[in-house]
Amino acid sequence: MVTNTATAGIRPVLELHHAVKTFGPVVALADGTIEVRPGEIHALVGENGAGKSTLIKVLAGVHQPDSGDFRLNGEPVAFRSPADSKAAGVSVIYQEPTLFPDLTVAENIFIGRQPRGRGGMISRQAMRAQARELFSTLGVPIDPDRIAEGLSIADQQIIEIAKAISLDARVLIMDEPTAALSGVEVERLFGVARSLRDGGAGILFISHRFDEVFGLSDRITVMRDGAFIATHDTTSVTIDRIVREMVGRDISALFPKAEATIGDTVLEVSGLGRAGVFHDVSFTVRAGEIVGLAGLVGAGRTEVARAIFGIDRYDAGSVTLGGAPLKPHDPQASIAAGIGLVPEDRRKQGLVMELSVTRNATLTLRSSLARFGIIDGGRERRTGADWSSRLQVKTASPDLPVSTLSGGNQQKVVLAKWLATDPTLLIVDEPTRGIDVGTKAEVHRLISDLAVRGIAVLMISSELPEVLGMADRVLVMREGRLTATIDRADATAESVMFAATHTTGSAA
Amino acid sequence: MSEPTTSEPTTIDRDREPASGTPATTAVARPVRARPRWTRLVLSRDAGVFYALVAVIIYAYTQVPYFASTQTVGFLLLDIIPILLIAMPMALVIITGEIDLSVASTVGLTSAIMGVLFAAGVPIALVFVICLALGIVLGAFNGLLVTVLGLPSLAVTIGTLALYRGFALVVIGDNAIANFPPELTSFATSKIGATGIPVVMVVVLAVAVFFGVLLHLTPFGRSLFALGYSTEAASFVGIKVARAKFWLFVSTGFISSLVGIFWTLRYSSARSDNATGIELAVIAAVLLGGVSIFGGKGSIPGVVCGVLLIGTINYTLRLARVSDVVLSIVTGALLVASVITPSIVDWARARTHARRAAAHTPQKAPAS
């Protein structure tokens, strides 16, 4: 923990030492320790469940720690509510900001503390002028008069940041700010973060993406199992070391791709198009093959998957599965034909969170579990139990709501319910998003096993290492078009990123 | 049930998971416990309504004069048959997160049409067929507005509540048509032997069993629970959300017209204002029976108990000469209580957990 950056020796603006937070018998935070100095960008990393979010909620005043030492500018503080922490200059930007959709941008920034004019009335001019000033400080052109509804998540975050600055925030905390942003938006956010740092603010951000952590931060703090592990200067540490500290062991095979025999064409998509969304998309996926679909967020990858599976309509082209045309816009028919789709949003699309593990795991099988129209309850339980144990889903009981499981185990339930249908083609959309490193490897092994068993896999992923590690072939989309098809041998981070960001030609 | 449920481990210590090569996500594991199935059944919300029902019946049987008689059984059941019938499809509708407020008006319109057709000399069998078909059409109209146009069912059925009642007035005006065939009207109130149980209860039982099986034992029922919680997740497993909801509205329409026929024969009177306001009694009973107004949760046995509970309480209070005003207050209070109870139970649980945690020293997470 040697420090040699420009900010070394400066008194931290925010210090938390040995904070403990328990919920009933569960220790969410065993040793919450972090120091944020003014004028630094500090990254907080750790597996899911390492206690990062709890730590941030303690800093934000959402949770009150059971014990520990919390100081701002050297003064002990105890926040009883988020309002307390805001007033003290600690602002938190959550992954998905919650603006009032019907109010204007300026009104959102100054909600509850609108500048007053004559007679105590709200002065719209003053509000507008101040908002404009904030945006010009941030160097981001957003119209203060527009209604918040329909703003991109990136713009919403900028508005939250503007709000924080207007509140005179000295510490800005961002919880996975880039998870839903495209490359350009990420760059813009980083620009803003750097300029705030240069203005003397302390910035703490959580990220799962190492390129961001290393590209942006000055220091990195690692957490594991609810406890502080170490803080490093970014320049003097390697990714390997951080990963080791995060998981507490070496991960030798993050992407254990096994060799599979590649067979006949299973899925053939030709000239698929949907006005304004994607155009002229043609590709094939063969049995035993894992095809990666890479590209920036918003390139149209998920939309193509949804159209193939039948959630959305398409208005040009055709889809065939095993040589037979697939009925458009009919997920039930797609499932019957042998397609499974693991959607990108596990909580909203992949699972019915309130239903039990068993019910979720067998939801795709509804009809086949029935005899003469009546579901065989015993068979339902056995099937659910069988698939959860095959995928090693960790739960106290299969009758518990799936919402009580960890993110990784939830994803295994999603996989289980599709594997139970015995698909010939499995489409997985961001299969490891928000999953801790250990379970990630398990999911990768599962997908690899499927390919070995002859299932065709179409894998959408925004994580380059995942695409490069898993895919036999990488398709790249950019702005609704397929811009490149790259074989495993030629696929590198550079070639994929080039195709994802440049207009013409194949990078292969 | 052959499985040895009681010997199952009731808790799993997540901190002691076998070292299977994956890091245990101990820190965020929620304090969840798995009870054996029979315990959960005995402690469930439905069971609670059942216990309340049994308690009320025992109380009334021993304390209220005249309650303990076959006449009581007969009148009580005749009174609640309309509510019980409509509550069955209504439970399914509410489980999918929708609502149908037009049911009482459908009853009224069916009654009006039945009276007019019968007075015009249409054979009574044909009148029945037309009435039931009418119920299907009225339900389908609700269903189309909700599923095809995507309008909220609350707004749609408030509209058709007024519309269908209006049609009833147009059809029959202020008239009342009585003189239905006496064999039919007496059938509507006839009892099975000396038991006091109305013969019509056979039909009611069949309807209850049908909807109970449909909801709890069929693939269609499974999909209703799923889409009640999340239409999006349901559509990702190929459930046809709009189609399912449409048929449920058709079923409330159909059962309401069945009730319309029963109501007309029981009181031997076809009037435009028959069954006014019973939609609220139906919904109150369904919610009291444990169906969540937010969708996703509920059971037919629970709803049956809910209807019987409200019916029995009302009947008992009336026997005890309690005024209608008090009756209405009691029903309202019960309903509010039933909606609030789940939140109170959650709150109490959270408190118990907090107490227990304070009593023990928290286990230390492995620090390294």
Per-residue pLDDT for chain B (368 aa), expressed as one digit of tens each?
Answer: 333 333 333 333 333 333 333 333 333 334 445 556 677 677 777 788 899 999 999 999 898 888 888 888 898 999 999 999 999 999 999 999 999 999 999 999 999 999 999 999 999 999 999 999 999 999 999 999 999 999 999 999 999 999 999 999 999 999 999 989 999 999 998 998 888 899 999 999 999 999 999 999 999 999 999 999 999 999 999 999 999 999 999 999 999 999 999 999 999 999 999 999 899 889 999 998 989 888 999 999 999 999 999 999 988 888 888 888 888 888 788 878 877 777 777 677 767 766 665 555 444 434 33
Q: Do B25 and A224 touch (CB under 8 A)?
A: no
Q: Do B233 and A349 touch (CB under 8 A)?
A: yes
**What is the DSSP code string of A345-362?**
-IIIII--TTSBHHHHHT
Domain ranges of chain B: 68-339
Interface test with B, best of A363, A409, A432 (most B CBs within 10 A): A363
CATH of A14-99+151-247, one of 2.70.98.30, 3.30.1360.30, 3.40.50.300, 3.30.2010.10: 3.40.50.300
Quote the CA–CA distance of A43 and A213 in Å, as a whole number: 6
Q: What is the pLDDT of residue A473?
A: 94
Q: Which residues of A touch B30 (CB under 8 A)?
A: 23, 26, 404
- Contact of A309 with A332, CB cutoff 8 Å: no
Q: Do A28 and B233 touch (CB under 8 A)?
A: no
**What is the DSSP code string of A298-336?**
TSSHHHHHHHHHTSS--SEEEEEETTEEPPTT-HHHHHH
Residue of B nearest to A438 (CA): B22
Q: Residue length, chain A? A: 508
Indicate the Cα dihedral angle B257, B262, B267, B268, nearest 10°. 90
Task: Determine the distance in angstroms separating the CA of B300 from the nearest CA of chain A, rounded to an integer.
Answer: 16
Q: Which residues pair with A417 in a beta bridge?
A: none
State the CB neighbour count (10 A cutoff) for residue B21.
Answer: 10
What is the CATH number assigned to the segment(s) A260-338+423-508? 3.40.50.300
- The pairing of strands A202-206 and A41-45 is parallel
- Contact of A245 with A230, CB cutoff 8 Å: yes
Asked if residue A179 has pLDDT above 80, the reply is: no
- The pairing of strands A26-36 and A75-76 is unpaired
Q: Do A225 and B229 touch (CB under 8 A)?
A: no
- Contact of A192 with A140, CB cutoff 8 Å: yes
- For B235, which of A311, A369, A400 is closest by C-beta distance? A311
- Contact of B38 with B61, CB cutoff 8 Å: no
Same fold, A14-99+151-247 and A260-338+423-508: yes
* B314 SS3 class: helix
Distances (CA, A) of A288 to A254, A358, B257: 20, 28, 56
Domain ranges of chain A: 14-99+151-247, 260-338+423-508, 354-422
> ∠ at Cα A393 (A410, A398), nearest 5°?
90
- Contact of A478 with A500, CB cutoff 8 Å: yes
* B255 SS3 class: helix
Start-to-end CA distance of chain B, whole Å, equals: 47
pTM: predicted TM-score of the whole model, two decimal places: 0.74
Residue where the block lists tokens 């420009």: A6
Residue of A nearest to B5 (CA): A397
Q: Which residue has the higher pLDDT, A250 or A41?
A: A41
Q: Do A408 and B25 touch (CB under 8 A)?
A: yes
**Tens digit of pLDDT for each residue in A77-117?**
999 988 889 889 999 988 777 889 899 999 999 888 888 88
- Write b or e for each residue in A313-342: b if 16 or more Cβ atoms lie within 10 A of its Cβ, otherwise e: ebeebebbbbeeebebebbeebbebbbbbb
CATH of B68-339, one of 2.40.128, 1.10.3470, 2.60.120, 3.30.1600: 1.10.3470
Q: Do A225 and B26 touch (CB under 8 A)?
A: yes
- Contact of B337 with B313, CB cutoff 8 Å: no
Q: Which residues of B touch A66 (CB under 8 A)?
A: 362
Quote the CA–CA distance of A112 and A92 in Å, as a whole number: 17
State the CB neighbour count (10 A cutoff) for residue A73.
Answer: 14
- Contact of B62 with B316, CB cutoff 8 Å: no
- In eight-state DSSP terms, residue B270 is B
Q: What is the pLDDT of residue A137?
A: 81
Distances (CA, A) of A400 to A263, A355, B11, B34: 40, 8, 12, 7
Q: Do A359 and B226 touch (CB under 8 A)?
A: yes
Indicate the Cα dihedral angle A22, A28, A33, A34, nearest 10°. -120
Q: Do A47 and B23 touch (CB under 8 A)?
A: yes
- Contact of A17 with B352, CB cutoff 8 Å: no
Long-range contacts of B10-17 (CB under 8 A, 24+ apart): B10/B34, B10/B35, B10/B36, B11/A396, B12/A396, B12/A397, B14/A394, B14/A396, B15/B363, B17/A394
Q: Which residues of A touch B17 (CB under 8 A)?
A: 394
Q: Which amino acid, residue A171?
A: V
Reduce the secondary structure of A447-476 to three states and give it as a string.
HHHHHHCCCEEEEECCCHHHHHHHCCEEEE
Question: Where are the strands (E) in A98-218, listed by range?
Answer: 171-175, 202-206
Phi and psi angles of residue A343, each rounded to the nearest 5 degrees, phi first = -75, 165
Burial of B321 (0-12, 13-18, 19+ CB in 10 A): exposed
Burial of B64 (0-12, 13-18, 19+ CB in 10 A): middle
Task: Determine the distance in angstroms separating the CA of B33 from the nearest CA of chain A, rounded to an integer.
Answer: 7
